[in-house]
Chain A
Amino acid sequence: MSTSDLVINVTGVTKRFGDKTVVNAIDLSVRRGEIYGFLGPNGSGKTTFIRMLCGLLTPDAGTGTCLGYDVLTQQAEIKCQVGYMTQRFSYYEDLSIRENLDFIARIYAVPDRAAAVERSLVRLGLQNRSRQLAGQLSGGWKQRLALAACLIHSPKLLLLDEPTAGVDPKARREFWDEIHQLAADGLTVLITTHYMDEAERCHRLAYLAYGNLLTRGTLAEVLAAAKLSTWTVTGPDLRELAAALRGREGVEQVVAFGNTLHVSGRDAAKLEAAIAACRDPRHTWAPARSGLEDVFISLMDSAKDNFA
Chain B
Amino acid sequence: MRRFTFHRLWAMVLKEFIQMKRDRVTFAMMVGIPLLQLMMFGFAINSDPRHLPTALRTADQGPFARTFIQAMRTSDYFVIVRETTSEAETQRLLQQGDVQFVINIPVDFSRQLLRGERPSVLIEADATDPAATGPALAAVNALAGSIFNHDLPGPLTRLHGKDGPVDFRIHAQYNPENITQYNVVPGLMGVVLTMTMVIITALAITRERERGTMENLLATPVRPFEVMVGKILPYIAVGYIQVSLILVAARFIFNVPMVGSLSLLYAVALLFIGANLAVGITFSTLAKNQLQAVQMAFFFFLPSILLSGFMFPFRGMPEWAQAVGSCLPNTHFLRIIRGILLKGNGLAEIAPELWPLLLFLAVAMTIGVKRYRQTLD
Contact residues of A with B, CB < 8 Å? 54-58, 76, 79-80, 82, 84, 86, 88-93, 104, 107-108
**B154-162, B219-227, B348-356 - interface stretch:** B219-227
**B76-84, B137-145, B187-195, B207-215 - interface stretch:** B207-215
Residues of B within 8 A of A76 (CB): 221
Q: Does B11 contact A (CB under 8 A)?
A: no
Find out whether the CB atom of A91 lies under 8 angstroms from the CB atom of B221. Answer: no
Find out whether the CB atom of B219 lies under 8 angstroms from the CB atom of A107. Answer: no
* Contact of A104 (CB < 8 Å), options: B211, B212, B215, B220: B220
Give, as a whole number of angstroms, the nearest-CB distance from B92 to chain A: 52
The 3 closest A-B pairs by CB, nearest first: A90-B216, A84-B219, A88-B212
State how many residues of chain B have any CB contact under 8 Å with chain A: 13
Find out whether the CB atom of B213 lies under 8 angstroms from the CB atom of A92. Answer: yes
User: How far, in whole Å, are A108 and B221 apart by their CA atoms in the complex?
Assistant: 7
Find out whether the CB atom of A54 lies under 8 angstroms from the CB atom of B219. Answer: yes
Find out whether the CB atom of B218 lies under 8 angstroms from the CB atom of A56. Answer: yes
Some 29 contacts from A to B, beta carbons below 8 A apart, are: A54-B219, A55-B219, A56-B215, A56-B218, A56-B219, A56-B376, A57-B376, A57-B377, A58-B377, A79-B219, A79-B220, A79-B221, A80-B221, A82-B219, A84-B219, A86-B215, A86-B219, A88-B212, A88-B215, A90-B211, A90-B212, A90-B214, A91-B216, A92-B211, A92-B213, A93-B211, A104-B220, A107-B220, A107-B221
Find out whether the CB atom of B213 lies under 8 angstroms from the CB atom of A91. Answer: yes
Q: Which residue of A is nearest B213, CB measured?
A: A90
Residues of A within 8 A of B218 (CB): 56
Find out whether the CB atom of B221 lies under 8 angstroms from the CB atom of A86. Answer: no
Find out whether the CB atom of B216 lies under 8 angstroms from the CB atom of A84. Answer: yes
Residues of B within 8 A of A91 (CB): 213, 216
Residues of B within 8 A of A58 (CB): 377
Contact residues of B with A, CB < 8 Å? 211-216, 218-222, 376-377
Give, as a whole number of angstroms, the nearest-CB distance from B220 to chain A: 5
Residues of A within 8 A of B221 (CB): 76, 79-80, 107-108
Residues of A within 8 A of B212 (CB): 86, 88-90
Find out whether the CB atom of A107 lies under 8 angstroms from the CB atom of B215. Answer: no
Residues of B within 8 A of A80 (CB): 221
Give, as a whole number of angstroms, the nearest-CB distance from B131 to chain A: 45
User: How far, in whole Å, are A82 and B377 apart by their CA atoms in the complex?
Assistant: 18
Give, as a whole number of angstroms, the nearest-CB distance from B372 to chain A: 14
Find out whether the CB atom of A86 lies under 8 angstroms from the CB atom of B220. Answer: no
User: How far, in whole Å, are A56 and B218 apart by their CA atoms in the complex?
Assistant: 7
Give, as a whole number of angstroms, the nearest-CB distance from B222 to chain A: 5
User: How far, in whole Å, are A84 and B214 apart by their CA atoms in the complex?
Assistant: 13
User: How far, in whole Å, are A54 and B216 apart by their CA atoms in the complex?
Assistant: 11
Find out whether the CB atom of B220 lies under 8 angstroms from the CB atom of A90. Answer: no
User: How far, in whole Å, are A77 and B213 apart by their CA atoms in the complex?
Assistant: 21
Give, as a whole number of angstroms, the nearest-CB distance from A254 to chain B: 38
Give, as a whole number of angstroms, the nearest-CB distance from A215 to chain B: 28
User: How far, in whole Å, are A54 and B377 apart by their CA atoms in the complex?
Assistant: 13
Q: Which residue of B is nearest A83, CB measured?
A: B219
Residues of A within 8 A of B377 (CB): 57-58
Find out whether the CB atom of B220 lies under 8 angstroms from the CB atom of A108. Answer: yes
Residues of A within 8 A of B222 (CB): 107
Residues of B within 8 A of A84 (CB): 216, 219
Q: Which residue of A is nearest B226, CB measured?
A: A107
Give, as a whole number of angstroms, the nearest-CB distance from A231 to chain B: 45
Q: Which residue of B is nearest A159, CB measured?
A: B219
A-B contacts besides A54-B219, A79-B221, A107-B221, 15 pairs, CB < 8 Å: A55-B219, A56-B215, A57-B376, A57-B377, A58-B377, A76-B221, A79-B219, A82-B219, A84-B216, A84-B219, A86-B219, A89-B212, A90-B211, A90-B216, A104-B220
Give, as a whole number of angstroms, the nearest-CB distance from A293 to chain B: 30
Residues of B within 8 A of A56 (CB): 215, 218-219, 376
